[in-house]
A and B are shown apart, each in its own frame.
Chain A
């Protein structure tokens, strides 16, 4: 477990003082999937303190929130709700292009002391100088979710899987022992999440930590892309988008899913009848004794400048994200991993989870957090993402001689598009 930070509890105390001011009115939030559901889950506790504020959460889907927020900001803020969920990796394009679209949370009561209750890797993308555009919400320490029964049928002990090579071997054994079951799924159609998780594990990302150069052709990323292709070639990693993966979980045709910790709630809420069948282990590495921790996703909440009720919106954001009560509610109900450090010491984290075969999964998942290498989204994430998607598709389909050649090509394309240099 992480050591407690004194300032985190200070943040909590400061957060509670806001309750003295009676707020009223209606606020609307845009969010997606389990994130939206978890925001819904904190309304009850919030209304206990602020009975006169009506909170409405609209679940638009992840891409829709991004698209409509950009369109709304481009239109000077018209049509935007009071609060918007923003993914960390995609956040900087908003402040970069529309510095006036979002309220400075510092003006609403989000002090430096409160901000210091969150880890630095969550804050870098949300703050520009003295302006805080967003408050950190959850983080996404990567974990391998797996079906205990499918692994047992093949005699595979998840503890023995330490490299991606082991994962491939195990996958083949599991497919053989469980007809119709595939080892894992990746969104080869519209995302690069496996590549990003493996690259982050290997200490590499699209850009350098400072966000001022392109790093995607560095050795860590090359090793990650090679591993992804090996898994795809071996047939143990097949294509599946978000919905198809949920379908596969329900239909019991998939043995493992690699995702950020927030996927816990997705599995649990979509397949409640599979209680006790699932477990969690650390993601394997490229090499024996290599790093086995990464982060995928994680979001923040921002308040729009056009909101008529910024104080009420801030009260909700602060209750949901700035208090242990709010953060642990979301962890409990939907598995959103708190980025508020003090929430990690909540007794709930230590408990064995019945759905997960009484494994204390949060101890295991959160235990990787302090080994995660920060990865910067930058305002150019969208550009780089499209290029890497195309490169990954071509490479997996044999369009490049090597992963190095593929990523060198991608790096030069990103350089063309962004004007950033390629890191040495």
Chain B
């Protein structure tokens, strides 16, 4: 080894030691754990115990299904809203643009626990402001926390509220990088504003929207705080339990570390598959 390389590794050693102890070792150890039956002491080697359960566990598939529902409904709705919002925020007609942009970005700055508490209160069945407002237009009160569909709608609403502005700001930066003369040329050719949006703005925004989609998909795969805090640990009865919550429950509520490890590896595998699909969909068409 050359002296300079040695020096470099010397400087890196403190970090590498921490990396080995807190990243590499747990990753290897949890793989080993996934082959152990950890239901009762002492733990025993039994490769089919956790993996065999995983492929037939209805609770795991429920969590997978819930995560996919959020992925398929929430992400597209949020990205569409964010794009619309970005176009509006970019409009020359808008006054006080700086304040407006900050206002829509602000939810990200709010702590998860704080906003979850406010959402719980707003969507409280008996005294919550949302049901009171619905009552004004004649809608019967909705049990946001005990009806499975309503609870899922609540989670999707909350996550969208929190992240739509953040995505809009990213898309806005993309919008501002589109040169004005493209639109001028289109206007001279008498192309309508709507057609300009669909045939100029959207195609040119494609890479930036893809970034937003990838970030949102990753966020959804890791979704934990909202169903934990707003719908009380994925309630009612697991109706909003995500893969992250399911993993947490196996690891830290029922203390089944072996099964939790198997679940963690499966989630990682799913995330890789989805990333590859994203990458494939987002590849350059040429």
Contacts and interface: CB of A to CB of B under 8 A. Distances in A.
A271 interface: no
A387 B147 contact: no
Interface in A225-271: 238-241, 244, 247-248, 251, 253
Contacts of B252: 67, 70-71
A246 to B, nearest CB: 12
Interface residues of B, number: 33
B235 A189 contact: yes
B184 interface: no
B253 A238 contact: no
A247 B56 CA distance: 42
Contacts of A394: 148, 237
A96 B145 contact: no
A389 B236 contact: yes
B255 interface: yes
Given A241-B232, A247-B127, A389 B146 contact: no
Nearest to B239: A393
Nearest to B147: A397
Interface residues of A, number: 39
B20 interface: no
B112 interface: no
A389 B239 CA distance: 10
B65 interface: no
Nearest to A381: B254
A99 interface: yes
B138 interface: no
A416 interface: yes
Contacts of B151: 189
Interface of A: prevailing SS: helix
A419 B39 contact: yes
Contacts of B232: 189-190, 241
B148 A239 contact: no
Contact of A389 (B40, B125, B145, B238): B238
B233 interface: yes
Contacts, number: 96
Given A189-B146, A190-B232, A394-B237, A387 B59 contact: yes
Given A241-B145, A251-B127, A189 B254 contact: no
A74 B255 contact: yes
A389 B237 contact: yes
A241 B252 CA distance: 22
A392 B235 CA distance: 11
Most B Cβ at <10 Å: residue of A66, A93, A416: A416
Interface string A370-402: 000000000110110011011111100100000
B132 interface: no
Contacts of B193: none
Contacts of B239: 390, 393
A28 interface: no
B236 A416 contact: no
Most A Cβ at <10 Å: residue of B53, B146, B231, B235: B146
Interface of B: 39-41, 53, 56-59, 62, 124-127, 143, 145-148, 151, 231-233, 235-239, 249, 252-256
Which A-B residue pairs are the 5 nearest by beta carbons?
Answer: A393-B237, A239-B146, A188-B146, A390-B237, A382-B254
Interface of A: 66-67, 70-71, 74, 93, 96-97, 99, 188-190, 238-241, 244, 247-248, 251, 253, 379-380, 382-383, 386-387, 389-394, 397, 413, 416-419
